[in-house]
């Protein structure tokens, strides 16, 4: 069983066609046995990304509604949504001192590290951190996570 943590930059590619979308969709297909982790904060980031695309004209209102509704359904059915606990917040704060990250990126990394620890405690194999953000991927690698960048697979 594959295990992945997806940040917003990776998850958006599942719902909107852009560089790396085909690879991401093939990697996290529902037909495979897998666990897909993400932060509750990702919900806000993904909806924001869809709305930005409406404003810049690259997504119609109908496409926005379709992507939003599909994403929300998948949040209930496919993703292991992890809350931003005080442990995650504290860990993210430390990560911000160690790496040049934006606040939500530190939350993603801290959440992924928490998911990784949970899996290790259960003697499950490690997860792979999926993000299209090179700086975040560098920090995730430095923190010991395996990393996949959808943009590396155009």
pTM of the model: 0.95
* Mean local confidence (pLDDT), 74-88: 95
Where residue 83 falls among pLDDT bands split at 50, 70, 90? Answer: very high
Both structure tokens of 131: 């993000």
Query: Could you read off the pLDDT of 99-151 as tens digits, one per residue?
Result: 999 999 999 999 999 999 999 999 999 999 999 999 999 999 999 999 999 99
Domains and CATH numbers, the chain: 2-152 (3.40.50.1010)
Contacts of 100 (CB under 8 A, 6+ apart): 135, 139
pLDDT at 31 (0 to 100): 65
Q: What is the pLDDT of residues 26-49, one digit of tens each?
A: 999 876 789 999 999 999 999 999
């Amino acid at each position: 069983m594959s295990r992945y943590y997806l940040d917003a930059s990776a998850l958006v590619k599942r719902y909107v066609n852009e560089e790396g979308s085909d690879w991401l969709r093939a990697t996290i297909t529902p037909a495979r046995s897998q666990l897909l982790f993400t932060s509750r904060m990702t919900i806000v980031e993904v909806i924001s990304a869809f709305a930005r695309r409406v404003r810049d004209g690259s997504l119609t209102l109908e496409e926005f509604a379709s992507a939003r509704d599909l994403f929300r359904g998948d949040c209930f059915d496919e993703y292991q949504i992890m809350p931003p606990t005080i442990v995650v917040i504290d860990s993210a704060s430390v990560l911000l001192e160690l790496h040049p990250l934006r606040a939500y990126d530190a939350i993603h990394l801290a959440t992924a590290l928490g998911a990784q620890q949970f899996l290790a405690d259960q003697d499950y194999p490690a997860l792979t951190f999926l993000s299209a953000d090179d700086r975040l991927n560098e920090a995730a690698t430095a923190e010991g996570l395996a990393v996949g960048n959808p943009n590396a697979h155009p």
